[in-house]
């Protein structure tokens, strides 16, 4: 039976966690702060739990330099839950802005009729579909508000023979204009920064989503579940950032959201449930309602405090390791590891084919086919890796192949071990 030190794990999620955090976790699960009970047993409304929340927020703020005008929320439902929450919240803001503008122009009864017409004709949510997760997000939006309100501003498959793997040039995107006759642009622009299944990552924030002026501000919502805290992010460019914890941040159980306070009451007014119902628009469950979660300091319902604690310890560990460099320190390590892996893969093009285009290769999820996607050869590769205690390399069930998930907690020695195997397998293949 191999020990933890013997195994190098590259699973896509739940992902590896720092051994030091797990060792500390094993102690606090039994006895937290000499209380005689474990952290998973304390009340989520206790002073101890509130301190865990505060410490975790502080660690994230410090790591990413999050501005004071942003709120941090912890809730459940995973990234998939936020596919829905983003729609509920951003549509509600859009409708209320539209209603207020109309009521200043015309009497209320006429305004209500005009509002229905504007919702039917003008409500748009823009989606950049670059992989499986952004596709699922767009499908959820269509399910909630109707496909007629979802603008697929980019479907990357159209530029790549029906498969994901490229991001077309921005001048090919069909974003909803922000300056229209009705004075309102899209309710949001949504994209997934790193596609776990397809190995596609945006190299940087899209230039076409940059705010040109105060009246031309696209409300950008980004799913960063699989590359969160792996590189520097200019938080101010986003209205909302969210991520499930189970990749780089912690164990499965919580979702972290960073959003502008201006999107929350009292700075931003939301359409009433009665109005949304009258317009045929959905009303979200309260456990996904950002204003409710924010008002209750993420404690509206029972939050898994242990999961928050793990995330906090992981992020504080990065702060302690990189000091003044903060997230830039981890960004350098992430890039170094991915360069090591891609370097070997590119060295043997007859054996390994990296799936996505070089311009959008993910640093986190490296998707590869072996010998032209030969199923027997890929099984042989995976079996050999398993015998070398290189685990979690099987590609997503929807696409197959091999996937190396290079998350923060994967140490450089594990990557070195993997590259040695890649070299060995390629040389052996060349001689057979």
CA 400 vs. chain centroid, Å, equals 22
Instruction: State if pTM tops 0.85.
Output: yes
Do residues 342 and 288 touch, judged by C-beta distance below 8 A?
Answer: no
Residue 46 placed within a domain: no
Residues 208 and 101 in one domain: yes
Residue 168 maps to which CATH number? 3.40.640.10
Residues 248 and 203 in one domain: yes
Q: Is the pLDDT of residue 413 over 80?
A: yes
The length of the chain in residues reads: 432
Domain end marker among 252, 277, 307: 307
Residues 355 and 264 in one domain: no
Residue 44 placed within a domain: no
Residues 112 and 225 in one domain: yes
Per-residue confidence (pLDDT) for residue 256, from 0 to 100: 98
The full DSSP string for 168-230 is --GGG--PPPSS-TTS---SEEEEESEETTTTEE-SS--GGGS-SSGGG---EEEE-TTTTTS
Count of domains in the chain? 2
Residues 100 and 207 in one domain: yes
* Residues of the domain holding 168: 56-307
Residues 247 and 338 in one domain: no
The confidence band for 182, taking pLDDT boundaries of 50, 70 and 90, is: low
Per-residue confidence (pLDDT) for residue 184, from 0 to 100: 79
Containing 402, the helix (H) or strand (E) segment is: strand 402-405
The confidence band for 180, taking pLDDT boundaries of 50, 70 and 90, is: low
Residue 313 placed within a domain: no
Residue 354 placed within a domain: yes
**Between 107 and 430, residue with greater pLDDT:** 430
Residue 356 maps to which CATH number? 3.90.1150.10
Domain end marker among 307, 336, 355: 307
Residues 332 and 416 in one domain: yes
User: Tell me: the pLDDT tens digits for 268-307?
Assistant: 999 999 999 999 999 999 999 999 999 999 999 999 999 9
Q: Give the CA distances from residue 342 to residues 4, 39, 163, 355, 362, in Å, rounded to whole numbers and listed in that order.
A: 26, 41, 21, 11, 10
Residue 27 placed within a domain: no
Residues 276 and 359 in one domain: no
Residue 36 placed within a domain: no
Q: What is the 3-state secondary structure (H, E, C) of 383-400?
A: HHHHHCCEECCECCCCCC
Domain end marker among 280, 307, 334: 307
**Between 28 and 103, residue with greater pLDDT:** 28
Residues 297 and 331 in one domain: no
Per-residue confidence (pLDDT) for residue 352, from 0 to 100: 98
Mean pLDDT score, 51-55: 98
Do residues 290 and 257 touch, judged by C-beta distance below 8 A?
Answer: yes
Residue 393 placed within a domain: yes
Query: Between vectors from CA 203 to CA 200 and to CA 204, what angle results, nearest 5°?
Result: 130
Residues 284 and 139 in one domain: yes
Residue 219 placed within a domain: yes
* Secondary structure class of 36 (helix, strand, coil): coil
Residues 131 and 174 in one domain: yes
Mean pLDDT score, 39-58: 97
Mean pLDDT score, 378-397: 97
Residues 66 and 158 in one domain: yes
φ, ψ for residue 56 (rounded to 5)?
-70, -40
Query: Tokens for 103?
Result: 């009521």
User: Tell me: the pLDDT tens digits for 16-38?
Assistant: 999 999 999 999 999 999 999 99
User: Tell me: the pLDDT tens digits for 302-323?
Assistant: 999 999 999 999 999 999 999 9
């Amino acid at each position: 039976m191999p020990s933890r030190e013997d195994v190098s794990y590259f699973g896509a999620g739940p992902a590896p966690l720092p051994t030091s955090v797990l060792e500390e976790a094993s102690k606090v699960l039994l006895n937290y702060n000499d209380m005689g009970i474990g952290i998973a047993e304390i009340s989520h409304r206790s002073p101890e739990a509130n301190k865990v929340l505060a410490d975790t927020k502080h660690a994230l703020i410090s790591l990413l330099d999050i501005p004071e005008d942003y709120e941090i929320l912890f809730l459940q439902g995973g990234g998939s839950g936020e596919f829905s929450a983003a729609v509920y919240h951003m549509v509600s803001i859009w409708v209320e802005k539209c209603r207020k503008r109309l009521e200043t122009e015309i009497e209320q009864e006429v305004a209500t009729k005009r509002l229905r017409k504007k919702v039917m004709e003008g409500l748009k949510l823009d989606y950049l579909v670059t992989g499986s997760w952004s596709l699922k997000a767009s499908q959820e939006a269509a399910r909630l508000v109707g496909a007629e309100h979802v603008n697929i501003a980019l479907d990357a498959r159209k530029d790549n023979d029906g498969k994901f793997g490229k991001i077309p040039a921005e001048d090919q995107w069909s974003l909803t204009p922000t300056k229209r006759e009705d004075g309102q642009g899209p309710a949001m622009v949504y994209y997934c920064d790193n596609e776990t299944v397809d190995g596609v990552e945006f190299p940087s924030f899209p230039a076409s989503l940059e705010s040109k002026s105060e009246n031309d501000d696209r409300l950008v919502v980004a799913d960063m579940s699989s590359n969160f805290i792996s590189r520097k992010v200019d938080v101010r460019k986003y209205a909302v950032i969210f991520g499930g914890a189970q990749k780089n941040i912690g164990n499965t159980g919580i979702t972290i959201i960073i959003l502008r306070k201006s999107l929350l009451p009292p700075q931003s007014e939301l359409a009433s449930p009665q109005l949304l119902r009258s317009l045929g628009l959905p009303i979200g469950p309260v456990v996904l309602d950002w204003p409710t979660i924010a008002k209750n300091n993420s404690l509206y319902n029972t939050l898994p405090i242990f999961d928050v604690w793990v995330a906090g310890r992981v992020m504080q560990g990065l702060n302690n390791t990189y000091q003044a460099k903060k997230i830039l320190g981890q960004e350098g390590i992430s890039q170094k590891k991915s360069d090591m892996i891609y370097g070997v893969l590119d060295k043997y093009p007859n054996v390994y084919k990296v799936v996505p285009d070089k311009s959008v290769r993910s640093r986190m999820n490296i998707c590869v086919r072996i010998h032209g996607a030969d199923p027997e050869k890929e099984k042989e590769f995976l079996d050999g890796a398993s015998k070398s205690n290189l685990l979690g390399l099987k590609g997503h069930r929807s696409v197959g192949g091999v996937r190396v998930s290079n998350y923060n907690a994967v140490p450089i020695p594990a990557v070195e071990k993997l590259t040695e195997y890649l070299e060995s397998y390629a040389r052996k293949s060349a001689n057979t």
